[in-house]
Amino acid sequence: MKIVISPAKSLDFESKLPTKEYSQPLFLKEAEQLNKVLAKKKPKALSALMGISDNLAELNWERNQQFTLPFTQANARPAIYAFNGDVYHGLDAYTLETDKLESLQEKLRILSGLYGVLKPLDLMQPYRLEMGTQLKLGRKKNLYEFWKKRITDQLNSELQDKELFLNLASNEYFGAVDEKLLKVPVITPIFKDWKNDNLKIISFFAKKARGTMVRYILDTDAKTREDILGFDRDGYQYSKEHTLKENQPVFIR
């Protein structure tokens, strides 16, 4: 099984790491290329490009200036312990048993505007570059054009025939994958909550549920589609009634 998730804007480079294991990103040359473009932009330009506050622009200007190779444990951090958003709270990697790390590293991939594809233990330096940012790179008018073939080819090189592929990323990030060219079908779970007598996707809850599903898969050693449909954490249950497409199972609570 392969699972893709989105990164997070919030980062944690302070908490004590539960492991000394790490790996190196596959697309470091590309990340360096992107950072060189970003590093030339002043804070005001970053603020306009990314739609962020002046304070955030200053912070990320500093990050762009400090980007340096090679990545080491002294200047970088494993991605799964660096991202700190809702998805990662649901996954809660800090409490994952160390004997599950190998499975996590094998199954999970994090899509990234700067790094393309990250394995959980891949080292990364702090950054902010959302996939939807309209950053031009030579003839490439945005990050989707820059990354789509690279990311899709990499995922295909890792996928086995008939292997389950679970998309738990946001639309913004999964848009960097050419789904039509993937060698296996994609399963995209949908998480909905009852609110005012209507079922709705509530962003905060859906993000956390994506991470919780990753944790469920690791904890239960889920292997099949039926195993995934057994997801029952935080009050969610698979609803055949509300599932309109087989490859988009709906979980409700």
pLDDT in tens, 56-93: 999 999 999 999 999 999 999 999 999 999 999 999 99
Model confidence pLDDT, tens digit, residues 19-50: 999 999 999 999 999 999 999 999 999 999 99
pLDDT averaged over the chain? 97
Element (H, E) at 117: strand 116-118
- Which 8-state DSSP code applies to residue 116? E
Give residue-wise pLDDT tens across range 157-166. 999 999 999 9
Q: Do 22 and 73 contact (CB within 8 A), yes or no? A: yes
Main-chain phi, psi angles of 100, to 5 degrees = -95, -10
> pLDDT-based confidence at 53, cuts 50/70/90?
very high
What pLDDT score does 201 carry?
A: 97
Owning domain of residue 206: 2-252
pTM for this model (two decimals)? 0.97
Domain count within the chain: 1
Backbone angles phi, psi at 181, to 5 degrees: -100, -5
